[in-house]
Chain A
Amino acid sequence: MAFRVLVGVKRVIDYAVKVRVKPDKSGVVTDGVKHSMNPFCEIALEEAVRLKEKSLASEVIAVSCGPQQCQEVIRTALAIGADRGIHVEVPANDELGPLQVSKVFAALVKKEDVGLVLLGKQAIDDDCNQTGQMIAGLLDWSQGTFVSEMTVEGETLKVVREVDGGLETVRLKLPSVITADLRLNEPRYATLPNIMKAKKKRLDVLKIKDLGVELSPRFQVLSIDEPPQREAGVTVESTADLVKKLKEIGKI
């Protein structure tokens, strides 16, 4: 039985950009900086599109929460193969953390009659690694996180998870929440003809209040600092000097 898939796609600073901390330490510089889809979201989206190609999924919906610019990422998702998009509009200055996003997704799951939620395992800007798990908790659904392999078998999913000790294989009863790890697949690029076609695909814009979600933040960022500057090394002339220096700095 083909199910509807909800894919989360987050707009983040591009992974190749050198991130700079704002002078007032309240955050990082985002103005004029290249943004793109979170790499793990790309992997999740690729998996969803492949499910659709195998006729295991009936529809792929790409969802993004945030300010107006999120629609660029949704359009990319449509170009890669999502059928339609939902932009949950949140003003740029409002705090949006995993708890709020997972409440949004839980509401959308009910609204859209979704059978599978696919997300990246974490976003490369905050590295929270919480949204998928929270969605499963809110919905009381099974979850498979850090997934590197996924197979649909009837009403269940067999997934291989990358864990510290190695690879863990679990069977989940659908409906489920899956978070994608790096080795799940190699995502395709959006091609020009598909970018053109994506302009005509449906993109709905919703307000977060419409989904009954409150935005009151649960935590406050106190400060953001750059990592300490790497100090210049010291050249020594001989092994004896090296040993002497190491003793001086208390390393041996």
Chain B
Amino acid sequence: MSYCLDCIQTSFKTLASRPFLSVLSILTMGVGIGTLMNHFIIYKGVMDPNLPFPNSEEIVTVSFVGDVEQSNKNIPKHLIYYWINNQTSFEALSSFQEGTINVYYQNRAIRYSGGWVHPNLMDMLKAKPFLGETFKPGDDELESPKKVILSYKIWKNDFAADPSIVGKEILVNSESTMVVGVMEEGFHFPFQSDLWVPDTYYPGAMLPYDPKPTSMVAARLKEGVSMVDAGKELDQLKEDFVAAIPKLYQASIPTDSQVNVASFVSMMTDEVTRNIMKLMAAVVILVMFIASANVSNLMLASASTRLKEIAIRNAVGANRTQIITLLLLEGAIIASSGIVPGTIFSLWTIDWVNAQITQQNEIPFWFQFSVTGTSILWGSTIAVITGLVAGILPALKVSKLKMSQILQDDSRTASSLHVNATNRTLVVLQISVSCALLVVAGMMIRQIASYQNKTFTFESDSVLTARLGLFDGKYKSLESKNEFIQTLLRNLRNEELISSAAISTRLQNLYSSFDLGFQLPTEDGTGFKDQEHRSHSDLVTTDYFDVLGVGPIEGRKFPERIVSGPTEDLEVIVTEEFVEKHFPDESPIGKRISIRTIDQSSEIKKIGKTYEIIGIAPDTFVHNDYIDEIDSVGIYLNILKAPPRFITIMVRPAEGLNPYSLVPLLKRSVAEVDKEIPLYFIETPGDSLKQEYAGLQFAAEWFSILSGLALFLSFVGIFGISSFSILQRIQEIGIRKSIGSTSLEIFTLILRQGLAQLLLGLTLGVIAALTLSVALKDLTYNINPFDPIVYLSVILILTVSTLLAAIYPASKAARIMPAEATRVQ
């Protein structure tokens, strides 16, 4: 016991005798530990969060897996209801979808993210209302009175915390709806939804066994039932269902795909997120490795300058084990000293992480991170283990030395200490790890920059776009939607501040709306070729291209108004790229193509309609769900022929005006047509795109921070090792000086040694970076693993910082007085 106390005392003395290096080590260890704690928090929060529902681990999601497209993973509602009525594996099975819900109440129109849910959802989640009640069975029937439940958050913020709100009528998607309840504080589901309405299921109004209305499924497993068994039951029920319906409709259920039951959270974090989390875990471990390498180096340094002390301990009877214990304990003490700064670092940076995350759209409500006892405990445990590991190296070194030799004649030659190689190896590894991390961060940053640069072929920052929804309650018919669109456009065109206005379906004018199958005409123009092509498409009004500022189109524009309903004169405008591909030798204007189904009804059309090509438009780039797939729209259709539920208003301001100055005018213009309709996502396409990359940006920033830390830690490592090597070589430096070496020569001597490590570290680092970035390319984004600019800048950064780190110790060495250094100890 007293021996341990003695050890601890000695460790503190050693730390105190080298205050600068010790403080650096403790701080770097702190940074390492803090990063570790944060990553633990984030990892846990994303991969295995505590959802705010009782027994949340029982909550699962059901989807199709196998060879299906993303959009087909959701389950057709017919099947969901079949499951609900027949399953036995779950306490309850429920469905949900999230989307825009408009509310109009007391002269205010607000758009929310809301949920269309099966009436049993809240009961399934075991979530209690704060006021009123939750939905009742039968609320999903078409004829049932309309009901809505509010979140505590909006009740407080937008309904003035009205205690008698339950029973009041508000307008939800233009329909009078009764508020039946307010959920408890903190309840959101599935992502950020702030209000819920029953998802009406009306088989009578749907085509029989239509696969189209689909939903997502959440369910609560019965105790003792495994996810696999539950999946098997649902699979079997699916087969039964398919067998029971007429052959004609069987194709509506994807028979070749399996039903997959997985934890609810796993479904909400996609593959990319999970891969990034894993990659980052690896990165954090690397950062931790660098931190512990620093501790190891500090200890090697102190051990080698204390060889004599250790030898004397040995001489007076301490055995090898005791000496090793001493050094291991010392490592653990240094590492644990980092726990407090680490926790502070963690507390400080987790706020930043939260701030970053709340900036993003569509982030699940449980993505909020906080420092917990577990995270501190976890970080501390790893820290102590790391410290012990860091102590092993010096302990082994020291225990191998011949103590008698140290005692008798350590002054025979100036370099009797031979602990250099290991230290240098550690520094080389530190440099290479930082190099690899910096390269990855650099690539992600470059990737973001390249997206932001190349996406648009129009002036993305000089157009204002806004979204709105025309819900069936008021805008069910084509005529009513067109009336709204045409009135709004006419009003906007009359405004002096607006130079042109248009409407399209593209969300924020960024994403391709849908794609179409089409057939080209035969040579004689009487029919259509069998081969079907596909093209991205958009629905637009006549001035769309003027608003984008992409110049005049060849041929005709769409007519400004259509007199009544869909007529037979169906027209399309195609893009230059389309022409190049499909009509390379002749003008397509006047030619006809056959296009399959763009109808709002969900009817599956086997036979297309004939459209005439009336114009050619420049290519404008859009991007799709996956940000690396940038594609052009090929076919434009007249929006007035088939106005969709959600539309995007686009206005170009008069010369010299900031697009955002039009926001009040735009809101007013919409309110003048219909005061119940809220406008949302009011942004320029350029800003929308930045939002879109926020996730990537966050990943890149987090990587940058980690690689910055790695760089800093390596800097400290190089600094420490240079300082230490001077301690080791102090006598040699003295000798060199006494026989006439100048300070400059000593300076370069020390610096050169840093350079050798730098070169080796960079070589290894570049190799590691190549491997890592090729892996990263496979895992996540379409980065360029051979980007020379990234490699060159990283090499430059590391070279400069290595030199900087070595300069101070080298100049200190150069100033050593030879008399000091050559004294007999």
Q: Do A and B come from one complex?
A: no
Which residues of A does B touch, CB under 8 Å?
none
